[in-house]
Amino acid sequence: MRWTPGGTSEDIEDRRGEGGLGFGGIGLGGGGLGIGGTLILLVLSIFFRTDLLSLFSGGAPSEAPRASANRTATDPRQDRQVQFVSFVLDDAQRTWDKLLPAEAGVPYRHAKLVLFTDAIRSACGAAEASTGPFYCPGDEKVYIDLGFYDELQNRFGAPGEFAQAYVIAHELGHHIQKLLGLERKVRALQQDNPGAVNQLSVGLELQADCFAGVWGHSTEQRRLIDQADIAQGLHAAEAIGDDRLQRMSRGYVRPESFTHGSSAQRMRWFQRGLETGEINACNTFSQR
């Protein structure tokens, strides 16, 4: 993939090394609760996604501290990777700045990308690096632990820069769904029809793959990627299909439990976005 190393994007929040889930500066005493009571409240805080510790110590629920967008990286070895993430993020968002109003009549609003280490709190609750990259519609931010890219290459066998770019573009695809009102509609449908929760989730994920391909189409038009890069991206989509992940972890596949789509589905919809470059080509809810 052709890209030029530079600085850190203004849309990046570097929160690496902030110390886990960040429940403020409360010590183990917890306002006289004792260690046992404090640990129970800590578990409940994670479960209910609210800082109950500060409530019992007389304060208001605390928010995770904000870091400067230009914060110095905690690991110098990741500097180039941060620059690459910045390039992809800025390029994708510049593309959507033009494409979303032109094709959907909706203005594009920039998402933020949060870099974290090990664990983080978002408007969607607490998360660990093991959950993988995710988008939170509540705060319109993409969250990623850069260690995921090592796992993508070493555990899932999907190396290459465009494979890494696909991950970011997929999460931004969920941001597009939020801006188009699709995410809200699908969540409402899931509440009304619990039996279709997984099926609707698959539709959302495959559409985010297709939207990632729409950005990929733009990069191909501008000669930032070639066929070898496209192969990397498609391989990444294949590597994290539900059937492949289930086979790796369980040894068998349960299609009814899919939430993201099979390897074949993820590859097909990513490729459809790559080939068409059109938002309206990504209707994953009418066909799989």
Which pair of structure tokens corresponds to residue 236? Answer: 């990444």
* 191 lies in the same domain as 274: yes
* 79 lies in the same domain as 130: yes
Question: Domain for residue 54, yes or no?
Answer: yes
* 54 lies in the same domain as 106: no
Structure confidence at residue 228 (pLDDT)? 96
Domain range holding 179?
A: 68-281
* 41 pLDDT more than 90: no
* 46 pLDDT more than 60: no
For residues 283 and 210, give the distance between their C-alpha atoms in angstroms, rounded to a whole number: 9
Within 10 angstroms of residue 111's Cβ, the number of other Cβ atoms is 25
Domain boundary among 40, 63, 86: 63
* 65 pLDDT more than 50: no
Question: Domain for residue 16, yes or no?
Answer: no
Closest CA to 111 of 79, 80, 81, 133: 133
* 221 lies in the same domain as 139: yes
* 144 lies in the same domain as 42: no
Low-confidence winner among 52-66, 146-160, 201-215 (lowest mean pLDDT): 52-66
* 176 lies in the same domain as 129: yes
* 211 lies in the same domain as 228: yes
Structure confidence at residue 19 (pLDDT)? 61
* 236 lies in the same domain as 264: yes
Domain boundary among 7, 37, 63: 63
* 102 lies in the same domain as 28: no
Structure confidence at residue 288 (pLDDT)? 59
SS3 of residue 267 by DSSP: helix
Question: Domain for residue 188, yes or no?
Answer: yes
Confidence of residue 194 (pLDDT cuts 50, 70, 90): very high
* 12 pLDDT more than 60: yes
Question: Domain for residue 97, yes or no?
Answer: yes
Within 10 angstroms of residue 131's Cβ, the number of other Cβ atoms is 13
Question: Domain for residue 28, yes or no?
Answer: yes
Question: Domain for residue 209, yes or no?
Answer: yes
Question: Domain for residue 10, yes or no?
Answer: no
* 54 lies in the same domain as 187: no
* 47 pLDDT more than 50: no
Average pLDDT of span 175-199:
96
Dump pLDDT digits (tens) for 68-126: 344 444 677 789 999 999 999 999 999 999 999 999 999 999 999 999 999 999 999 99
User: Residue 121 forms beta bridges with which residues?
Assistant: 126
* 234 pLDDT more than 70: yes
Question: Domain for residue 171, yes or no?
Answer: yes
* 170 lies in the same domain as 30: no
Count: domains in the chain: 2
DSSP 150-210: HHHHHTS---SHHHHHHHHHHHHHHHHHHHHTHHHHHHHHHHH-GGGHHHHHHHHHHHHHH
* 57 lies in the same domain as 112: no
Dump pLDDT digits (tens) for 123-182: 999 999 988 999 999 999 999 999 999 999 999 999 999 999 999 999 999 999 999 999
